[in-house]
Amino acid sequence: LWRVRTPSAEHLSFRTGIPGHFAFGVFLACIGFITTLNLINPDRFIATQNLARRERTGDLDGYYLTTLSEDALPVLVPALSTIPENERGLLCYELYERQAQLDEPERWMSFNIGRHEARQTLNNTNLQTHCPAVEDLQDIYGLFRSLIR
């Protein structure tokens, strides 16, 4: 049997003469990955792609959009006027719910840039211009949300 010899992590780190060289490289790679993931902002990217797909195909997964974090709200709120009214109800209900949650005071230790941007977006937008009144949505979508949670 032939055995391919690959250098192990210990072998690589001692060969360079610096004992922690390999571990430090892995640490830097992890930091780079986490930083890149934060810059990409996955929920905002997903919302943008989902809305672009709706423009192309007319298909929108409104329920899935409601499951995204507050990072997606600055993309979703301006797009409300482009979403057909029959698909807008659940999304509007969820936006009303998020606005109520974001209006609650939070401690400085739990500050999050995504929530801050979402709060600003919702406070600067009158949801009632694009959405039915929250009272009209509570009967239908409140029951729906309680069943799926």
pLDDT in tens, 28-64: 999 999 988 888 889 999 999 999 999 999 888 888 9
What is the model's pLDDT at position 49? 94
Total-model pTM: 0.69
Please name which of 95, 86, 97 lies closest in space to residue 121, comparing C-alpha atoms.
Answer: 95
The residue assigned the tokens 């509007």 is 92
Instruction: Tell me how many degrees the CA angle 16-21-27 measures, rounded to the nearest 5.
Output: 155
Instruction: Determine the Cα–Cα distance for residues 147 and 67; give it in Å rounded to an integer.
Output: 15
pLDDT of 108 strictly over 80: yes
Percent of the chain with pLDDT over 90: 28
122 has a pLDDT exceeding 60: yes
Instruction: Give CA–CA dist 113/137, Å, rounded.
Output: 29
Q: What is the mean pLDDT of the chain?
A: 81
DSSP for 8-29 reads -HHHHHHHTT-TTHHHHHHHHH
Distance CA 26, CA 29 (A): 5
Q: What's the pLDDT band for 14 if we cut at 50, 70, 90?
A: very low
